[in-house]
Structure 1
Amino acid sequence: MKSHTKYLFLGLIAWMTSSCSDFLDTAPLNALSPATTWKTEDDARKFAIGCYGGNNYDTPDWEDGGNILYLDCTSDLGYNNFEWENYKSIGNGTMNPSGSVASFYSFAVIRRCNTFLERINDIPFANEQEKKDLIGQVRTIRAYRYFIMNWWYGGVPIIDNYNNAEDARVARKSEEEVKTFVNTELDAAIGELNDVPAERGRIAKGFAMGIRMRSALYYGDYAKAKEMADGIARLGLYSLEPDYSNLYKIAGQDSKEIIMAVQYINSTKDLYTLGQMYNNADGGWSSIVPTQNLIDMYEMTDGLTKEESSLYDPAHPFANRDPRMEMTVMYPGMEWNGKIINTLDKTVDGKDNANFPTSADNASKTALSWRKYLDEQYANGIWGSNCCPIVMRYAEVLLTAAEASNEISGPSDEVYDKLDEVRQRVGMPKVDRTRYTTKETLRELIRRERAVELAGEGLRRADILRWKDDSGKMLAETVLNGVLERVVGTVDYSESIPSRRATINVNAAASDKKIEDRKFATHNRYNPIPQGAIDNNPALEQNQGYN
């Protein structure tokens, strides 16, 4: 499959050299449509591949693998230490239109897709289904980019390829209008796409159905979310990877669980973001780290929460946990890469500890690091890898089906069975059907299961924005208001059980535990439209709360 991925990027290179213009890299609504000429099947194939992205970092891709890895920093499960990396302000609620805020507002990929979809109908193909499949791929990319922008900004312009810059200054559509456009495009693409992708990294029917599923779930259309999840299952192409940790290794990149991942390849287009995830002593920046909030969400091995289980010891919070904790997070006392991790003691063997949270800017401030994607030796080192971050996998489909079904009609064997399938993959006990007997109690379990199963994969903030508590408030209003804290304690090297080596001081001073103050106001449901976009297009209106 590596050769297929290389073909994809060689296609990008060919497209870039034959048909790219500066127009594609500019901000939306301030440039004219490119005068690109292509007439053959091969031209169309290259242009379709070009809609996925470029072979350099200046050309936006259909999705950014680094963005996926950073996104949980905007939630209660992650933390970004450096404001200039643009995710810290989203997590702590200090966003403003001119500040350091990650921008999802870009029409560069959409413009490429518009050009392709305008011209493809004029190109004759020997195989009409190949043409339809290419159209479906590009239609899905365009719908995905609109879905992303619509979710984070709540309505954006739906653009054409304009004849002049003045015509390009168009107002935002409503969130409902953009949602309808996205869903209509995805419904069309589902009918055009092949079931099986042409090669790894290319879109097929399952991914278009998956985005349609995700859109329906996010906006509370549970019947459609369930329909799409069931349809993906009926394709018969996807199943859970037996080894959860293998999903995040090179050996797992062809797993039947992965529906879509962003493709990177050594020496052609590397992913540099992993270096920003490693801790200080490993040469990393600790820019992207998990929080103790995530640890607290993992059930104990008996299937009970830490509040319910007699197995929980607050002095040893990493012991007796759901096995996914150790496969997801590097915690103090854990054995990793031939060493015992120590992020709790200021000195070790009389020497300063480079990984102590306050020892250096690059030390993890939460005393934790992600393990997903890091448990691998990459050929080009931590700053250049062929790691391929997952955009969607089959576990999300199962959890979506469970959530949607529970919201529609409450507990059922189907809901329990899907949850059990995900849980038992890692050795967790089946759901206790005598405990989770109501829609409300099962909803709590489904939300927790989704959080720990998909931790570090960029979906958490969307979940805490869409999920409501009993009073109708966004969950984000609860979990993102308050002080973000780390654990304080010491590591006992003589202890033989890794998960019990860390002894936490439960009476530690608040000042020693504090990482940052976090806040979330209701207007933070949406991100601010970047000021540069408004400067380029005066027809745009800023989101409420950011004026």
Structure 2
Amino acid sequence: MKLKYTITNILCAGVLLFSGTSCQGFLDKAPYDALSETSTWKTEDDAKKFAIGCYDGWESGEVLLYADCMSDFGYNNFPWEGFRDQANGTMSPSNTGYSFYHFTTIRRCNEFLTKVQDIKFADEAEKQNLIGQIKTIRAYRYFVLNFLYGGVPIIDSYMSAEEAKVPRKTEAEVRTAIAKDLDEAIAALKDRPSERGRIAKGAALAIKMREALYYDDWETAKKSAQAIIDLGVYELDPSYETLFNVSGKDSKEIILATQYLSVTKPLGTIGQMYNNAEGGWSSIVPTYNLVNTYEMRNGKTINEAGSGYDPTHPFMGRDPRMAMTILYPGADYKDNNGVNKVFNTLDKEISGGVNKNFPVAADNASKTGLTWKKYVYPMDQYSDIWSTDVCPIVFRYAEVLLSWAEAENELNGPSKEVYNKLNAVRTRVGMPTVDEGKYSTKDALRELIHRERAVELAGEGIRRGDILRWKTTDGKMLAEVVLSQTLERLVGTVDMNGANPETRATIKLDAAADEKKIEDRVFKPYNRYFPIPQSDLDNNDKLVQNPGYAAPKK
């Protein structure tokens, strides 16, 4: 009976290969629940199983859902969950919040890439394709580390702990290593993935594209985006909303996503995203900074003359993606029993009873008064919100179009091709095409591209990267502005019997500051990079801490 490398295999492999347990249906032959050097790395099947193991931990759906909490677009209510310190500026070497500083997956990839060289495959191209997948995973993990920490050790396989004490490489040196892995992978990978969750050429190109974009390498970013377009494999999904539902997991827009199964490897983070009355924790919630970024349905910003924006009814007439992404006060929704309800986080009481979703009614109530809708609703798509099979997306085709547009504008300014790619993303959701007269200069179009990217990809974990790389007119990181503010919610009331969801909420514009305040946030220039955890510094005396993070007093 032949081994089958299905999505279940990918999900189970990390547990199997590195903790000694097994997943039913994965193994039909040898007792690989006790792997050893003498019994493995003998056959092509051995190599394929170890390659699948490298996928375990290459990216986390949980982290993707939390990641916008490190930006102005999200808020993590509970500090112990690890994503609040990065947003409010309280990070330190001994209090890093969630730490991205780990090399487990990279070590697995190194092991595979060393051992596979001695394994003979029936088809050499299949071997090279597999090697390409693992080099892509290694490149991605180094990209995450390098961008967040600013240069990290490039590790090898070591025989002792002492030997493993290696210094950090420069950010440029790590970028060179990433580029080498990706270029070699792109040359070997197939155009199409063999199954959902597998890496193909488009995924490696997407990493190359995003990495180049993050470092203002516009030429490489555009070239990589164009190469993805030229593959002809991916396209925009007709439904923006369905793309993030369980039913959208096989969309042609998705280039690569994390993989979860409700029984074998569930993602419980979805339960943490619901509000208190729906049985959730409100751990991960959007902010009004995001709400204020959406244009009006007519294509004007909320601050633009003639937009029709009404601050007392801020949800009225907005970009349709707002209602597809955020559950806002006054919006309609269905609970897990399919019962129609009105979302209300503004009133302390509803019909004479306590409103469990009022921000200060309970720890588990959303402190911003907003809840994510993307990935979360409809609620009845999950039989158990704490054990879901949703697969958060890492790369999708809309990002490719937006990255191409951004890179081309930075290289050559506005063009019909830039407008066309922006229009494809905008008209998909019913937004008007770009006003070419208003956005006829590089600077004006840059502002639109940044806004379009912000709202299109909101809640997908890339906002912090963008506000670190984007600059204000005076040369500051955008993060220095948007993360150095008091985070606030809106105060008001909801007409539970109102016919129009967009106008049910009426906002009290003269609310007191203490009614609105959630937390003070600060971002210093040195917060561009995260601190190296003190435990890693203690274990490796060759590591040097990032500037700005003082060493603890002895």
> Structure 1: how far apart are the matches of 2:283 and 2:148?
22
Partner of residue 511, structure 1:
514
* CA gap 1:165/1:314 in 2 versus in 1, 3 angstroms: same
After TM superposition, give the deviation of residue 305 of structure 1 in Å.
0.4
* 8 A Cα contact 1:266 1:379, kept in partner: no
After TM superposition, give the deviation of residue 151 of structure 1 in Å.
0.5
Select which of 318, 325, 330 maps to 1:333: 330
Tell me, which stretches of 5 or more residues in structure 1 are unaligned?
21-33, 54-60
Select which of 162, 167, 172 maps to 1:171: 167
After TM superposition, give the deviation of residue 129 of structure 1 in Å.
1.1
After TM superposition, give the deviation of residue 7 of structure 1 in Å.
3.6
Partner of residue 337, structure 2:
none
For 1:142-189, what per-residue CA distance to the aligned partner results, in whole angstroms no more than 9, with x for missing partners?
111000000000000001001221110000001110011111111111
> Structure 2: how far apart are the matches of 1:101 and 1:143?
24
> Structure 2: how far apart are the matches of 1:74 and 1:414?
33
* 8 A Cα contact 2:41 2:116, kept in partner: no
After TM superposition, give the deviation of residue 35 of structure 1 in Å.
4.7
* CA gap 1:273/1:439 in 2 versus in 1, 3 angstroms: same
Select which of 314, 338, 350 maps to 1:348: 350
Select which of 199, 203, 209 maps to 2:205: 209
Given residue 255 of structure 2, which amino acid in structure 1 is its aligned partner?
I
* 8 A Cα contact 1:76 1:291, kept in partner: yes
* CA gap 1:195/1:165 in 2 versus in 1, 3 angstroms: same
> Structure 2: how far apart are the matches of 1:15 and 1:512?
52
1:84 is the counterpart of 2:86: no
Partner of residue 262, structure 2:
266
* 8 A Cα contact 1:12 1:46, kept in partner: no
After TM superposition, give the deviation of residue 538 of structure 1 in Å.
1.3
> Structure 2: how far apart are the matches of 1:379 and 1:504?
33
* 8 A Cα contact 2:360 2:367, kept in partner: yes
Partner of residue 28, structure 1:
none
1:253 is the counterpart of 2:266: no
> Structure 2: how far apart are the matches of 1:90 and 1:10?
31
1:383 is the counterpart of 2:383: no
Select which of 235, 238, 242 maps to 1:242: 238
- Residue 359 of structure 1 aligns to a residue in which SS? coil
- Residue 503 of structure 1 aligns to a residue in which SS? strand
Select which of 51, 54, 58 maps to 1:51: 54
- Residue 356 of structure 1 aligns to a residue in which SS? coil
Please identify runs of 4+ aligned residues in structure 1 that moved more than 6 A. Answer: 17-20
* 8 A Cα contact 2:88 2:523, kept in partner: yes
- Residue 164 of structure 2 aligns to a residue in which SS? coil
After TM superposition, give the deviation of residue 379 of structure 1 in Å.
4.4
> Structure 2: how far apart are the matches of 1:390 and 1:176?
28
- Residue 453 of structure 2 aligns to a residue in which SS? helix
Q: Spell out the pairing of 1:42-121 with structure 2 (5 A cutoff).
A: 42-53=45-56, 61-121=57-117
After TM superposition, give the deviation of residue 3 of structure 1 in Å.
9.5
* 8 A Cα contact 2:313 2:505, kept in partner: yes
* 8 A Cα contact 2:58 2:141, kept in partner: yes
Partner of residue 372, structure 1:
374
Partner of residue 415, structure 2:
412
> Structure 1: how far apart are the matches of 2:5 and 2:388?
16
After TM superposition, give the deviation of residue 276 of structure 1 in Å.
1.2
* 8 A Cα contact 1:83 1:100, kept in partner: no
> Structure 1: how far apart are the matches of 2:307 and 2:182?
48
Partner of residue 127, structure 2:
131
Select which of 452, 463, 466 maps to 1:463: 466
> Structure 1: how far apart are the matches of 2:481 and 2:281?
29
Partner of residue 33, structure 2:
none
> Structure 2: how far apart are the matches of 1:13 and 1:286?
29
* CA gap 1:14/1:89 in 2 versus in 1, 3 angstroms: closer
> Structure 2: how far apart are the matches of 1:260 and 1:420?
23
How many equivalent pairs are there? Answer: 526
> Structure 2: how far apart are the matches of 1:480 and 1:107?
29
> Structure 2: how far apart are the matches of 1:215 and 1:504?
41
1:298 is the counterpart of 2:294: yes
Partner of residue 150, structure 2:
154
> Structure 1: how far apart are the matches of 2:52 and 2:295?
43
Q: Spell out the pairing of 1:378-457 with structure 2 (5 A cutoff).
A: 378-457=381-460
For 1:46-78, what per-residue CA distance to the aligned partner results, in whole angstroms no more than 9, with x for missing partners?
00000011xxxxxxx111100000010011111
After TM superposition, give the deviation of residue 9 of structure 1 in Å.
3.0
For 1:231-273, what per-residue CA distance to the aligned partner results, in whole angstroms no more than 9, with x for missing partners?
0000000000000011111111000000000000011000011
Tell me, which stretches of 5 or more residues in structure 2 are unaligned?
23-35, 335-339
Identical counterparts, % of pairs: 59
Given residue 465 of structure 2, which amino acid in structure 1 is its aligned partner?
A
For 1:423-451, what per-residue CA distance to the aligned partner results, in whole angstroms no more than 9, with x for missing partners?
00000000000100100000000000000
> Structure 2: how far apart are the matches of 1:374 and 1:395?
20
Select which of 24, 43, 55 maps to 1:40: 43
> Structure 2: how far apart are the matches of 1:13 and 1:275?
23
> Structure 2: how far apart are the matches of 1:190 and 1:233?
15
1:189 is the counterpart of 2:191: no
* 8 A Cα contact 1:72 1:461, kept in partner: yes
Partner of residue 226, structure 1:
222
* 8 A Cα contact 2:11 2:259, kept in partner: no
* 8 A Cα contact 1:266 1:380, kept in partner: no
Select which of 299, 319, 324 maps to 1:322: 319
> Structure 1: how far apart are the matches of 2:280 and 2:537?
36
After TM superposition, give the deviation of residue 494 of structure 1 in Å.
2.5
RMSD of aligned alpha carbons? 1.5
* 8 A Cα contact 1:285 1:362, kept in partner: yes
Given residue 431 of structure 2, which amino acid in structure 1 is its aligned partner?
M
> Structure 2: how far apart are the matches of 1:178 and 1:19?
34
> Structure 1: how far apart are the matches of 2:488 and 2:10?
44
* 8 A Cα contact 1:378 1:386, kept in partner: no
Given residue 330 of structure 1, which amino acid in structure 2 is its aligned partner?
L
- Residue 63 of structure 2 aligns to a residue in which SS? helix
* 8 A Cα contact 1:468 1:475, kept in partner: yes
Given residue 469 of structure 2, which amino acid in structure 1 is its aligned partner?
R
Q: TM (normalized to structure 2)?
A: 0.93
- Residue 506 of structure 2 aligns to a residue in which SS? strand
